[in-house]
Structure formats: structure tokens, C-alpha cells
Amino acid sequence: MAIQKTSIPLAAAVVAAVLLGCRHLKPPVPLEKLNEQQTHGYWVFQSNCRQCHSDRESKALQGPSLLGVYQKQYLPSGAAATDERIQATILHGRNMMPAMGGNVSDKDMADLLVYLHTL
């Protein structure tokens, strides 16, 4: 009996450790907690990127999911996950991703990057 009582918290700790190991990314900041700039970036994303990229789930569409994009050290291409690199991808495109520079104003770009940091 004594063994059973102590083994329950132990089992819970093991399960928690396994779950944390698999899901080491923090979940995105909830939409209702976004500030004004982040919320604007969310809408820029929905109108320009969402048709090819998931933002709040890991499912790949035409392009890779951007869930946790800045929490990972590298982009799918292996380049560092930095503002400079992501901005260059948006401006100039990459392989099957079209250049989007013409669609996104400087303010939209800044707000979009701020939103991507909440994922």
C-alpha cells in the first residue's frame, strides 16, 4: 500500500516530464491578450500569409507552420530565426513562396513580425 501511494505522484512526474519533453514550445499568447500592435500583425498575417502558413497550429499548409517560429533557433531552411531573415523572406520570397514586399507596408511588416514573436 505504501508503495502504491508514493508511486502515483512519481508516475505523474514521469508523465509530465515526457509531455514537457515532447511539447517544449510555449503555446502562442492567447489572441485576447495581444496588444494593439500584435493584433494588427495578426490581421496582416491572416490576409497575407494564412493561405499558405498555419500560425496557431503545427499543421503544414503550402508552406511550413510558423507556430513557435521564434522559439526555435532555426527556420525550416536552416537559417537563423531572426527578424532580418524573416523580413527578407517576406520581401523577396523563397522557392515556392512568392515575394510579398509589394503587399506589406513598413508598418504592416513591423506589426507582423511583432505578432510572429507571440507564437
Convert 82-112 to b/e letters by CB count within 10 Å (16 or more is b). Answer: eeeebbebbeeeeeebeebeeebeeebbbbb
Q: Which listed residue (52, 54, 70, 83) binds ligand HEC by CB under 6 A?
A: 52
Q: Which residues are within 8 A (CB) of 34 and not within 5 positions of it... i.e. 6 or more apart? A: 42, 115, 118
Nearer to ligand HEC by C-beta: 13 or 93? 93
Q: Which listed residue (38, 41, 42, 90) binds ligand HEC by CB under 6 A?
A: 90
Site residues for ligand HEC per CB under 6 A: 48-49, 51-53, 62-64, 75-77, 79, 86, 89-90, 94-98, 100, 104
